[in-house]
Amino acid sequence: MFHDADAILLARIQFGFTISFHFIFPAFTIGLASYLAVLEALWLKTGRALYLDLYKYWLKIFAVVFAMGVVSGIVMSYQFGTNWAVFSDRAGPIIGPLMAYEVLTAFFLEAGFLGVMLFGMKKVGKNLHFFATLMVAVGTFISAFWILSVNSWMQTPTGYAINPQGQFVPADGWIPIIFNPSFPYRLVHTVIAAYLTTALVVGAVGAWHLLKDSKQEHARKMFSMAMWMAALVAPVQVFVGDQHGLNTLEHQPAKIMAMEGHYQSHPDGAPLILFGIPDDDAQRMKHAIEIPRLGSLILKHDLDAPLAGLDTVAPENRPPVHVVFWTFRVMVGLGVLMLLLGIASLVARWRGKLYDWSWLKRFAVLMGPSGFIAVIAGWMTTEVGRQPFTVYGLMRTAESASPLAAPAVGASLVAFVVVYFAVFGMGSWYLLKLMSRAPQPHEPEPANAPAHAAGITPASALAGATRPEGAHG
Amino acid sequence: MVDLTLTNTWAGILAFAVFMYVVMDGFDLGIGVMFRAFPVGKERDTAMNSIAPVWDGNETWLVLGGGGLMAAFPLAYSVIMSALYAPLIAMLLGLVFRGVAFEFRWRDPAHRAFWDIAFSGGSLVAALMQGIMLGALLQGVHVEGRAYGGGWWDWLTPFSLLTGASVVVGYGLLGACWLNWKTEGETQQHARRLMRIFAPLTLAALAAVSAATPFLGNEYFARWFSMPRVLFTAQVPLVIAILTWRFVRSLRRNYDLAPFVLTLAVFGLSFVGLGISMYPYLVPNSITLEMAAAPASSQAFMLVGASILVPLILAYTAWSYWVFRGKVAHEGYH
With an 8 Å Cβ cutoff, are A451 and B80 in contact? no
Nearest CA-CA distance, residue B233 and chain A, Å: 34
Window A:117-176, CB contacts with B under 8 Å: 118-120, 123-124, 163, 165, 167, 169-170, 174
pTM score above 0.80? yes
Residues of B in contact with A134 (CB under 8 A): none
pLDDT at A456 over 60: no
Chain A's closest residue to B102, CA to CA, is: A67
CB contact under 8 A, A403 and B148: yes
Q: Which residues of A touch B68 (CB under 8 A)?
A: 100, 103
Summarised one tens digit per residue, pLDDT across range A23-80 is 999 999 999 999 999 999 999 999 899 999 999 999 999 999 998 998 898 888 888 8
- B77 vs A92, A167, A453: nearest CB: A92
What's the ipTM?
0.87
Q: Average pLDDT over chain A, rounded to whole?
A: 87
Does A412 contact B89 at a Cβ distance shorter than 8 Å?
yes
List the single residue in A with minimal CA-CA distance to B58.
A111
A160 has pLDDT over 70: yes
- Best probe of the B interface among A82, A114, A119, A140, by most B CBs < 10 A, is A82
Q: Which amino acid is at A378?
A: G
- Report the gap between the CA of A342 and the closest CA in chain B (Å): 33
Ranges of chain B whose pLDDT falls below 50: 331-334
Listed in sequence order, the residues at least 6 apart from B283 whose beta carbon sits closer than 8 Å to its beta carbon are: B76, B79, B80, B137, B140, B141, B143, B292
How close does chain B come to A116, measured CA to CA in Å? 7
pLDDT digits (tens, 9 = 90+) for B117-141: 999 999 999 999 999 999 999 998 9
Asked whether the beta carbons of residue B111 and residue A70 sit closer than 8 angstroms, the reply is no
Cβ–Cβ of B310/A104 closer than 8 Å? yes
Is the predicted pLDDT of residue A4 greater than 80, yes or no?
no
Cβ-based contacts of B79 with chain A (< 8 Å): 85, 89
Q: Nearest CB to B78: which of A68, A81, A449?
A: A81
Label residue A466 by pLDDT band (50, 70, 90): very low
Q: Residue A284's beta-bridge partner residues?
A: A279
What CA–CA distance (Å, rounded) separates B129 from B132?
Answer: 5
> What's the gap in Å between the CA of B184 and the closest CA on chain A?
10
What's residue B229's pLDDT?
78
Interface probe with B: pick from A107, A143, A436, A462, most Cβ of B within 10 Å: A107
- Please write down the HEC assignment for all residues of A388-433: CEEECCCEEHHHCCCCCCHHHHHHHHHHHHHHHHHHHHHHHHHHHH
Asked if A64 and B104 come within 8 Å (Cβ–Cβ), the reply is yes
Taking only residues 1 to 40 of chain A, the set having a beta carbon closer than 8 angstroms to any beta carbon of chain B reads: none
Closest residue to B309, CB basis, from A89, A104, A473: A104
Hey, which residues 51-80 in chain A have their CB within 8 Å of chain B?
63-64, 66-68, 70-75, 77-78, 80
What integer pLDDT is reported at residue B1 of this predicted model?
66
Rounded to whole angstroms, the Cα distance separating B25 from B51 reads: 10
The pLDDT-based confidence of A452 (bands split at 50, 70, 90) is: low
Q: Report the chain A residue with the minimal C-alpha distance to residue B103.
A: A64
Q: How does pLDDT run across A250-294, given as a tens digit for each residue?
A: 999 999 999 988 888 888 888 888 888 888 888 888 888 888 888
pLDDT band at A460 (very low <50, low <70, confident <90, very high): very low
Contact list in A for residue B66 (CB cut-off 8 A) is 77-78, 81
Q: Which pLDDT score, from 0 to 100, does residue A5 have?
A: 59
Rounded to a whole number, what is the distance in Å from the CA of A425 to chain B's nearest CA?
12
* CA atoms of A21 and B77, how far apart (whole Å): 24
All residues of chain A having their beta carbon less than 8 Å from the beta carbon of residue B62 are: 74
pLDDT value of position A1: 45
Which member of B294, B313, B328 has the closest CB to residue A451? B328
pLDDT more than 70, % of chain A:
93
* A186-239 per-position pLDDT tens digit: 999 999 999 999 999 999 999 999 999 888 899 999 999 999 999 999 999 999
Query: What is the C-alpha to C-alpha distance for residues A251 and B249, in angstroms, rounded to an integer?
Result: 69
The model's pLDDT over B53-88, given as tens digits with 9 standing for 90+, comes to 888 889 899 989 888 998 899 899 889 988 998 999
Question: Do residue A426 and residue B45 have CB atoms under 8 angstroms apart?
Answer: no
For chain A, domain boundaries: 1-180+405-473, 229-394
For residue B148, list chain A residues with Cβ-Cβ distance below 8 A. Answer: 85, 402-403
Q: Is the Cβ of A436 closer than 8 Å to some Cβ of chain B?
A: no
In angstroms, the CA B17 to CA B38 distance is 31
Cβ neighbours, 10 Å, residue A166: 11
Closest residue of chain B to A14, computed from CA coordinates: B89
Counting other chains too, the contacts that A230-233 makes at CB distance below 8 Å and 24 or more residues apart are: A230/A196, A230/A199, A230/A200, A230/A203, A230/A338, A230/A341, A230/A342, A230/A345, A231/A342, A231/A343, A231/A345, A231/A346, A232/A342, A233/A192, A233/A195, A233/A196, A233/A199, A233/A342
Position A448 scores a pLDDT of 62
- Give the pLDDT score at B333: 30
Nearest by CB to residue A85, choosing from B148, B325, B329, is B148
Report the relative pairing of strands A284-291 and A389-391 from DSSP bridges: unpaired
CA distance A118 to chain B (A): 8
Residues 183-242 in A contacting B (C-alpha not used; CB under 8 Å): none
Residue of B nearest to A60 (CA): B103
User: What are the chain B neighbours of A101 within 8 Å (beta carbons)?
Assistant: 302, 305
Q: Which residues of B5-31 are buried (b: 16+ CB within 10 A; e: fewer)?
A: ebbebbbebbbbbbbbbbbbbbbbbbb
Question: Any chain B CB within 8 A of the CB of A457?
Answer: yes
Long-range contacts, A441-447 (Cβ 8 Å, 24+): A441/A49, A441/A53, A441/A218, A442/A49, A442/A53, A443/A52, A443/A53, A443/A54, A443/A56, A443/A57, A444/A56, A445/A56, A445/A119, A445/A121, A446/A56, A446/A59, A446/A60, A446/A63, A446/A118, A446/A119, A446/B106, A447/A60, A447/B106
